[in-house]
Amino acid sequence: MAVSSYARVLPSFECRSDPDFSGNPRTEKSESGRYSGKANSVPIRGWAGVGFGSFGLSSLIFRFPPNFVRQLSIKARRNCSNIGVAQIVAASWSDNPSGVPAATAVDAASVEISVDQTAVVDGGSCNSNGVQFSGLADLKASFLSSDGSIAVHAGERLGRGIVTDAITTPVVNTSAYFFKKTAELIDFKEGRHASFEYGRYGNPTTVVAEEKISALEGAESTLLMASGMCASTVMLLALVPAGGHIVTTTDCYRKTRVFIETVLPKMGIKATVIDPADMDALRSALDKNKVTLFFTESPTNPFLRCVDIELVSKLCHSKGALVCIDGTFATPLNQKALALGADIVLHSATKFIAGHNDVLAGCISGSLKVLSPVRTMHHIMGGALNPNAAYLIIRGMKTLHLRVQQQNSTALRMAEILEAHPKVIHVHYPGLPSHPEHHIAKRQMSGFGGVVSFEVDGDLMTTAKFIDALKIPYIAPSFGGCESIVDQPAIMSYWDLNQSERAKFGIKDNLVRFSFGVEDFKDLKADILQALETI
């Protein structure tokens, strides 16, 4: 929605492609037909971020030579990180609401552009007073019925803060946002004008990615941060008061455990650690302590244990405790934690959400009320996501449903094959009936994920020999990307501990965590089977 329609008459300028252009404006067409002296009006509506004063005068006048407009439009589509004149012109020739034929526009020497400025904050449009409309993300995706379509179009299709004719969302590389006058700054401070103000507080490109995730999770709001650990630590610091108490589970990402065990106690925060399936232990912890938050992964890392999110939420809410589920292994497609009763769902967007092993990011989604203190803490801590990383997440999410479908299928089929193999002792995968929480996973998940953990028949070095014999996967510490990745947790994540210390966390020397990419199932199957034959 347009906040105001205004423009200022600027001195006209002309552009030529030849290097000897002196800069002197020409008002008449040369014999070569290089310039035209006539102007055609092509208004642009709703372009956000025009840096001109609100003087209420007629228009902006730009003069361009033939072909320059067409070339500029093409360049603007290819590289929309330059949010300036190129974007104004590119958008004008594609939308062309005045009905001027494209050929006429290209031949014009001067173009009259009428500019509307749109103020946007957190992905919402603003009314005439600059106040953000709420619930815009839901409206944008309301006509889509499947997660696959939502992942492609949410946050973009029906309008985004950056108005452009480009199909892809532009990258807005800026560290700050300006105010035209002090009065506008005061309006912003008093809530009458919308702006991001500073890059740490938000970015138009990042907002598109956040809206896309919110649409998939069914959340009112999403916060993207610089990494999954950043999201976890900021969330815990914001929601658990000094001297508070949290409940977490035994199986979890090691760095999360380190933060809970070493950093939170400095603020007097205590933690009760329970088995993911031990609801009696949860009831006891809730009865004996004033618990602020229950925080766990589901499925967990690396044993893929599953928590009954609906039951946990009912128990915690009855005692006034919040529930946060780290759904990184599940993805928003396989599991809807908020719909099951959780207050917050957290992801390492580095993994399946971005999906290409090329970006670090974390996100938390939930209601505006619950996320408000987290947002405040995030602005203080400063773990802002780079807009280029936000663009990679947007791009990656457009194929999220295709990738997850392939990874779900491959992982389940390989888990069944591995479980039957004589050189594999045990397989950890929620899609198998042998998994301790298979009944829970069947009830609350639509797919079981692309990661399978298993124990081979051998010691540390035998397991390493198996991994080294694999030809397709990379040996790396991440998961969820297009490329398959394998690691031996005893070495990759716990090598600083001795064998007995690793055993306290259930980490055996023969444990393998295999993240299946989008390679063909037959190739992955053949590779794993040939590697098992080497041990």
Instruction: Pick the catalytic residue from 200, 283, 319, 423.
Output: 200
Token digits of residue 73: 């439009």
Evaluate whether 342 touches 309 at the Cβ level (below 8 Å): yes
Strand 120-121 versus strand 124-125 pairing type: antiparallel
d(CA 463, CA 461): 5
Strand 116-117 versus strand 4-5 pairing type: antiparallel
Is residue 16 part of the annotated active site? The answer reads no
Long-range Cβ contact pairs of 145-149 (< 8 A, separation 24 or more)? 146/401, 147/216, 147/332, 147/333, 147/401, 148/400, 148/401, 148/402
> DSSP label at 372?
H
d(CA 309, CA 440): 9
Token digits of residue 214: 């919110």
Q: Following DSSP, what letter does each residue of 85-124 receive, concatenated?
A: HHHHHHHHHHH-TT---HHHHHH-SEEEE-BEE--EETTE
Measured in whole angstroms, the distance separating CA 138 from the mean position of its chain's CA atoms is: 17
User: How many residues comprise the chain?
Assistant: 535
Is residue 95 part of the annotated active site? The answer reads no
Which residue, chain included where needed, has tokens 């919308």? 194
Angle at 103 between CA 97 and CA 106, to 5 degrees: 85
Dihedrals phi, psi of 15, to nearest 5 degrees: -125, 140
Instruction: Pick the catalytic residue from 6, 253, 429, 494.
Output: 253
Which residue, chain included where needed, has tokens 């105010």? 179
Instruction: Pick the catalytic residue from 351, 375, 403, 502.
Output: 351
Shortest CA distance to 193 belongs to which of 210, 214, 177, 175? Answer: 177
Instruction: Pick the catalytic residue from 326, 343, 487, 509.
Output: 326
d(CA 202, CA 382): 11
Is residue 326 part of the annotated active site? The answer reads yes
What contacts 448, CB < 8 A, 6 or more positions away? 334, 408, 411, 412, 429, 430, 431, 441
Token digits of residue 2: 């347009």
Token digits of residue 129: 């007073």
Residue type, 244: G
> DSSP label at 296?
E
Is residue 358 part of the annotated active site? The answer reads no
Strand 39-41 versus strand 4-5 pairing type: unpaired
Evaluate whether 29 touches 39 at the Cβ level (below 8 Å): no
Helix or strand run (H / E) with residue 326: strand 322-326
Strand 511-515 versus strand 451-456 pairing type: antiparallel
- Torsion sign (Cα): 228, 230, 235, 240: positive
What contacts 195, CB < 8 A, 6 or more positions away? 119, 121, 177, 179, 188
Enumerate the active-site residues: 200, 253, 326, 351
